[in-house]
Amino acid sequence: MGGDHAPAPEVEGALAAVGERDLEVILVGDEARLRAQLAGRSHPRLQIRHATQVIAMDDAPSVAVKSKKDSSMRVCFDLAKRGEAQAVLSAGNSGAMMACGLFVSKRLPGVERPGIFTVAPTVDGSHCVVLDVGANTEVKPTTLAQFAVMGSAYARLILGKERPRVAVLANGEEPSKGTDLTREAYRMLAQPARKDFEFRGYAEGRDVFFGDFDVVVTDGYTGNVALKTFEGAVRAVFDMLKSEVSKRPRAKLGAFLMKPAFEALKRRIEPDEFGGAPLLGVTAVVIICHGNSSATAIKNGIFAADRYVGTGVQPAIVDAIARHRPLWEPAVQAPAKVAAE
Amino acid sequence: MGGDHAPAPEVEGALAAVGERDLEVILVGDEARLRAQLAGRSHPRLQIRHATQVIAMDDAPSVAVKSKKDSSMRVCFDLAKRGEAQAVLSAGNSGAMMACGLFVSKRLPGVERPGIFTVAPTVDGSHCVVLDVGANTEVKPTTLAQFAVMGSAYARLILGKERPRVAVLANGEEPSKGTDLTREAYRMLAQPARKDFEFRGYAEGRDVFFGDFDVVVTDGYTGNVALKTFEGAVRAVFDMLKSEVSKRPRAKLGAFLMKPAFEALKRRIEPDEFGGAPLLGVTAVVIICHGNSSATAIKNGIFAADRYVGTGVQPAIVDAIARHRPLWEPAVQAPAKVAAE
C-alpha cells in the first residue's frame, strides 16, 4: 500500500507472479481497495491479509516501528517474523523498510549494519553488485568489510560468480587515494586471510560497468549519489538523443529501424528488470522496490525474493560473516612467553 | 609534456588555437621534441620555452614543487607567477597541477581550498557546474560553502546564469538527508544573507542533468565518483547499444541513418568539447585536461582559458568570496549592554 501508485502495480504484479511461477503471495493492505483492484480475479496461491494503516512516503522511519503497528508494511515484517512469510516486498518508504528490518526482523548474527544494494548492468552482459546505495549515510571501515562479505555471498549464489572480484569505490586506483574510511577498509580487505572472494583494491565510478568487478562497496551516501547519477545520466542522454532525432527526418526513420535494439538495451539497463534492491543483513528477506514501480517491476521483485529464498542467501551470509570475522576483528594475540637466560 | 600522448595533441591543439583565435600560446617542454612535432610549421603567436624535466603521471604531487623545478609543468606556473602568461594548461598529473596551484600560484585571498570542477551537460541544452571533482577528498562545511560562491561566479560569467541556482549534492532532497558535512554546509548556505545565487537545498545525483541547478557542490571524493560514474554509464550504455545493433541488420541501417543525431549528441556530452576542468581558487588561471586529451580537447582547453581570463572570473571570485564571508564566518556579536534597574 505504500508505493506511489498502490495498490494497482502491486496487485497486478502479484497476480502475474503467481500465474507464472509456483510461489505464494500474501497481499497486505486495505482489503476493500485490494479487492476493488482484483475486480473479481483470484488465484489459489494469492491471499489477502487486511491491514488498517499505511506508512506514507514522508512518515519518519520510526513511525512504522513505534506507532503504525497495523500498517501494511509493519504487518508484512510481522508475518515474516512469525514464519508465515519468507520474504517482504514493498515499493513504499525505504527508510521505514530499513527501520522495520533493524527493529522488527533484527540483524543477522555478527552483522553490524544492513545494506541496500543494487545490481548494475555490465557491458559483458553480466552484473555488478553495488552496496550500500542508501541505508547508511555514514559507516565505519568494518561495515564496508562486511558489505564486501555479504555482497560476495549474494554474487556467488544469485549471479553465479564462483569467486567474486571485490573492490572498494574510490576516486582513483592507487591505495593512497580515497578517504580515511576507504583506506582502512582497503587495509582490512587486503589482509592475506582465507577469503571467499578476490580483493581487487579500489574501483572508480566508471569501472562498475565494464565487467572487471562483481561487488563494489561504498557508504550509502556515495552509493546513492552514484546510483542516481547513473540513472540520471542514462535518462538525460536518451532525452538528448530524442531531441536530436526529432530535428532530423532521416534519423527518425533510423530510430524506427533501431527500435528492437533500443528495446533490448532497455531490458538490460532498466531497474524494472532487476526487481528491486534487496536489504542485506537482516533476518527477513527484504526487497525494496522503487516508489513508482510498475507491475512488471513488482513481479520481478517477487521473483527476486523467491530466488533469494530458494538459493539460501541468508544462511550463506551468516556463515560468511562468521568465517571472515578475522578481517575486521584481528585475533587477540596471547602475550609471548620468552625463555631468556 | 605530461599528457599521455604528449607532445602531439598539445602541439596540434596549440597550432589550431592560434590559427582560429587571437591569442598567444607558449609551448613549454623539450625544445627538440616540440620542434620535431611542429615539423617546420610556425606561427607568430606561438612560442617555445625549453624545459628539461617532465612530471610523470605517477610522480608524487610534491615532486613538481620540490625537486623537478625545471619541469615543463612547474615552468608554466612560474611563467604565470611572473605575469609572462595569464593561464596554465596541462594534460598531465592533476595532483601535481593542484600542488603547483597551491604552492607556486598560491590561493586567492580568503579561499580555503581550491576546487576542480567540471560542467555537466543538461537536457535543456545548458550546463551545470559540479565541484569539487577530485582536488580535495575530505573537506569542511566552509569549503563547500566557498565552492558554492566560486562556482556561482563562474556560472554567472562563463555560462551567463544571472542568479545561479545552487545545491549541495546529497542522497535525498529533505534537509535531514546527507551527512554531517552536507547538513552543516546546507545550514550555512540557507542563511538569509544577501547572496549572488539562489540556494535550492539538496540535489540528488540525477538532478544534475535536468536543468534545475546551475552549480552543485560536493567533496572531491564523491564528486569524482559521480563524474566517473557519469562517464562510465554513458560509455557502457553506448557499448551495449552497439552490441545490440550488431545483432540486427535492420538496426544497423537505422544506426547509419541516425549517425548525424549520434554525432550531435556526442558533441553535447563529450568532455573534449568543454576543454578541461578548471582549478578554481588559485591566483593563476589553471585548466586541467584529461591525460588522454585529443588535439581538439587541448584547443578547446586553450579557448576555455582565454574565455576565463577575458571575462574576469578571477577578480569576480575574489570579490564574491569577500562579500559572502558572513555565510561561513558569522559576525561576532558584541556582548549586549543591558540597562537594568
Query: For A172-230, what is each residue's pLDDT tens digit?
Result: 888 888 999 999 999 999 998 888 999 999 999 999 999 999 999 999 999 999 999 99
Nearest partner of A207 among B228, B268, B46, B22, judged by Cα: B228
Res A193: pLDDT: 81
Interchain proximity B123–A243, CB inside 8 Å: yes
Looking at the complex, report in whole angstroms how far the Cα of residue B135 sits from the nearest Cα belonging to chain A.
10
Chain A CB contacts of B253 below 8 Å: 254, 257
Alpha carbon distances (Å) from A54 to B69, B79, B168: 67, 67, 32
Can you read off the three cell numbers belonging to residue B257?
541513418
- In chain B, which residues have their Cβ closer than 8 Å to the Cβ of A121? 236, 240
Contacts of B139 (CB under 8 A, 6+ apart): B113, B132, B181, B219, B220
Task: Please name the residue of chain A whose CA is at the shortest distance from the CA of residue B242.
Answer: A261
Contact assignment for B228 to A243 by CB distance below 8 Å: no
Show the DSSP H helices in chain A as ranges. Answer: 8-20, 31-38, 61-66, 72-81, 94-100, 141-157, 180-189, 220-246, 249-269, 295-310, 313-323, 325-328
Taking only the tens of pLDDT, chain B with its 341 residues reads 999 999 999 999 999 999 999 999 999 999 999 999 999 999 999 999 999 999 998 888 888 888 999 999 999 999 999 999 999 999 999 889 999 999 999 999 999 999 999 999 999 989 999 999 988 888 999 999 999 999 999 999 999 999 999 999 999 888 888 999 999 999 999 998 888 999 999 999 999 999 999 999 999 999 999 999 999 999 999 999 999 999 999 999 999 999 999 999 988 887 666 678 899 999 999 999 988 899 999 999 999 999 999 999 999 999 999 999 999 987 666 667 788 77
Check CB contact under 8 Å for B230 and A225: no
pLDDT tens digit string along A67-103? 999 999 999 999 999 999 999 999 999 889 999 999 9
- Bridge partners (DSSP) of residue A53 are A71
Min CA distance, B245 vs chain A (Å)? 5
Report the C-alpha gap between B65 and B100 in whole angstroms.
Answer: 6
Residues of B within 8 A of A250 (CB-CB) are 257, 260
B139 by Cβ neighbours in 10 Å (0-12 / 13-18 / 19+) ranks as buried
Q: Is B11 helix (H, G, I), strand (E, B) or coil?
A: helix
Q: How far is B199 from chain A, CA to nearest CA, in Å?
A: 19
Note the ipTM here.
Answer: 0.87
pLDDT of residue B181: 96
Q: What residues in B contact A243, CB-CB < 8 Å? A: 123
Give, in degrees to the nearest 5, the angle at Cα B179 between B212 and A4: 55
Tens-digit pLDDT profile for residues B274-301: 678 899 999 999 999 988 899 999 999 9
Contact A232 B205 (CB under 8 A): yes
Check if the beta carbon of residue B289 is closer than 8 Å to that of residue B298. Answer: yes
The answer to whether the Cβ–Cβ distance between A229 and B229 falls below 8 Å is: yes
Question: Three-class SS of residue B30?
Answer: coil
Contact A254 B250 (CB under 8 A): no
Q: Do A221 and B170 touch (CB under 8 A)?
A: yes
Residue of A nearest to B183 (CA): A137
Whether the CB-CB separation of B75 and B28 falls below 8 Å is answered with: yes
- Is A258–B243 a contact, with Cβ atoms under 8 angstroms apart? no
Can you tell me whether residue A330 is helix, strand or coil?
Answer: coil
pLDDT tens sequence across B50-90: 999 999 988 888 888 889 999 999 999 999 999 999 999 99
Q: Which chain A residues contact residue B264 at CB under 8 A?
A: 244
Q: Would you call B258 and A258 a contact, using CB atoms and an 8 Å cutoff?
A: yes
Give the residue carrying C-alpha cell 606561427: B43
